[in-house]
Chains A and B, each alone.
Chain A
Amino acid sequence: MPYPILDPTGTTTTATRPRPPRAPRRRDLRGATVGLLVNTKQNAAPFLDELGRLLVAEHGATATMARTKVNFAAPAPGELIKEMTTSCDVIITGIGDCGSCSASAVADGIAFEAAGLPAAAICSDAFRVTADAMAEIRGVPGYRYATTPHPVAVLNPDQVKQRAAQVLDDVMNLLTEPE
């Protein structure tokens, strides 16, 4: 009787995650407080600040609230998600610009959706595969996020503003379009 070859992954015994809920969409951002979850990667803060400014100036949002994720490599801690969910109406998280932080930005977007807030994660386009893989792990295959061309870290302040303006429509769609 031959022996079977053993599986080194352990995944056969792991149940698949149920798909977490997606937050209901707003029709627009008028009167909304926009939460900016900055992951400390180079240029993440000015990129998200500019996006917040544009959402206030052009789309009627009333305020922004920026918070910084201390560990860019890991998904945001539960308390931070809770604090931002209590104080904000929509979330922008990024910039996913490395192996772990792009995956984490997507994980954060999915966590905010499950907590009831529309969220737009932003990744550099060099990290699509790893961002998609994380979405699948979190039970949301095909999760939609915004991308900006790689590289981001080398951009000067004016270039960062241009990039933020370029991604604005995609971010608006992610926050307001029904699935």
Chain B
Amino acid sequence: MTRPTPDPEEAQAAIEYCYAQGWSDGLPLVPASQPLIERFLATTSKDPAEIIGELEQVGRNCTVYLAAVNAAMAGCLPEYFPVVLAAFDALMHERAARGGGWQSTSGPAPMIVVNGPVRHELGFNTHGGAFGPGFRPNATIPRAIGLIIRNAFGIRPHVLEQATQGLPGRWSICLAENEEESPWPPFAEDGGQPAGASAVSATLLRTCEFVDNRHTQDPEHVLNDIADTISRTGSLIFRDTSAGVVFCPEHAQTLATAGLTKQDVQAWLIEHCGRTGADLRRAGKNGLRGIARFADADTSADDTFTRILPSPRHVPIVVAGARNAAISMVVRIFGEWSGTATEVTK
């Protein structure tokens, strides 16, 4: 005996009800019911009333229960919930995410990176099309974060959220690292997790910029091309900046074959990313007032090369995507990454 097909008229009415309450990010939501939320809450030992994040200036917080409701509405399956909780915890380690980041004119996007066995257990996409779309856990987990910010924290576009243009993919970036084809240790180890752990890291991005360099075997060609993208003046607003690289497997393997570790690549980029004083002056960004860049008529530093990446933590390195082309992504970090990863716990 097959179950009757659900009544689409009822389903549509429930979806429209959610729109009418102002809960949606623009796309249809899954209406959440008590039995569904109980299945989410059953995946964690956390108390539903536990507060897992707070935005003091707007007087709002998020509990485990509210996170479950928003995750369900985002389209997550109950078994994704421990990853949602780990992603939110990782994000709450970011200064910008605890402060004014969600209200910012730059409209930053969370970037979530998943490592370990949980990637395969839950069916994450770990290779081609890493930035999406097409795969339920990769698509719905960052959307759950977006709904938490909108509904639990109350940060809504045009009101407390003041993004000038925002950026494409604001609530849709969740990479499962391609550990199988990466020559380097998993990203979660850089965040302090043991080898083999299922763990989530997160930071805020201002944009993603591709570097397509597929006709060379010389690691310096690849690194110089990436350094040029990292060093563009348009992204510089402060003395220092932070930019990660999501290497495709081919670029990562080219570098590793040449003997470069992740730390070597970070050190190379720290050394080579920057601009001359003249370049900065032409863009009106050569002066410093505190840590902010501004236009200064002084030409005396025109020939000085200014480095912009202060430490390896400001150049996080992830490996993601397919092995079918040499295309990597520079990810422009809003503020700076905390350098921590959160274990996925049941």
Residues of A within 8 A of B (CB): 3-11, 14, 17, 40, 42, 71-75, 98-104, 107, 127, 129-130, 133-134, 137
Contacts and interface: CB of A to CB of B under 8 A. Distances in A.
Nearest to B69: A8
Interface in B87-125: 99-101, 103-105
Contacts of A133: 159-160
B151 interface: yes
Interface stretch (B13-21, B172-180, B221-229, B312-320): B13-21
B103 A103 contact: yes
Q: Which of A8, A71, A100, A127 gathers the greatest number of chain B CB atoms within 10 Å?
A: A8
Interface string B289-314: 11010100000000000000000000
A101 B37 contact: no
Most B CB within 10 A of own CB, among A6, A40, A71, A130: A6
B162 interface: yes
19 contacts: A3-B35, A5-B17, A7-B23, A8-B32, A8-B70, A8-B73, A10-B62, A10-B151, A11-B154, A42-B289, A73-B57, A74-B57, A75-B56, A98-B104, A99-B100, A99-B104, A103-B57, A133-B159, A133-B160
Interface of B: 14, 17-18, 21, 23, 31-35, 37, 56-63, 66, 69-70, 72-73, 99-101, 103-105, 147, 151-152, 154, 158-163, 289-290, 292, 294
B290 A10 contact: no
B100 A73 contact: yes
Contacts of B56: 74-75
A137 B158 CA distance: 16
Given A6-B34, A7-B21, A75-B57, A130 B100 contact: no
A8 B23 contact: yes
A7 B151 CA distance: 9
B37 A103 contact: no
B99 A71 contact: yes
Nearest to B32: A6
Given A75-B57, A98-B104, A10 B152 contact: yes
Counting from the closest, the 10 A-B pairs by CB-CB distance are A100-B100, A73-B100, A99-B162, A99-B103, A8-B151, A100-B103, A3-B33, A6-B32, A8-B69, A5-B31
A101 B152 CA distance: 21
B161 A73 contact: no
Nearest to B24: A8
A16 to B, nearest CB: 10
A11 B69 CA distance: 13
B151 A100 contact: no
B58 A137 contact: yes
B290 A40 contact: yes
B105 A137 contact: no
A177 B163 CA distance: 35
A129 B161 CA distance: 10
Contact of A100 (B17, B99, B290): B99
Nearest to B29: A8
Nearest to B284: A154
Contacts of B18: 5
B294 A42 contact: yes
Given A7-B69, A9-B152, A134-B57, 12 more contacts: A3-B33, A4-B34, A8-B147, A9-B23, A9-B66, A73-B57, A98-B104, A101-B100, A104-B57, A104-B100, A133-B159, A134-B58
Contacts of A9: 23, 66, 151-152, 154
A98 B237 CA distance: 14
B160 A74 contact: no
A97 B72 CA distance: 36
B66 A99 contact: no
Given A75-B57, A104-B100, A133-B159, A8 B294 contact: no
Given A99-B162, A103-B103, A130-B103, A5 B33 contact: yes
A171 B162 CA distance: 25
B161 A99 contact: yes
A172 to B, nearest CB: 28
A17 B59 contact: yes
Contacts of B290: 40
Nearest to A126: B162
A40 B289 CA distance: 10
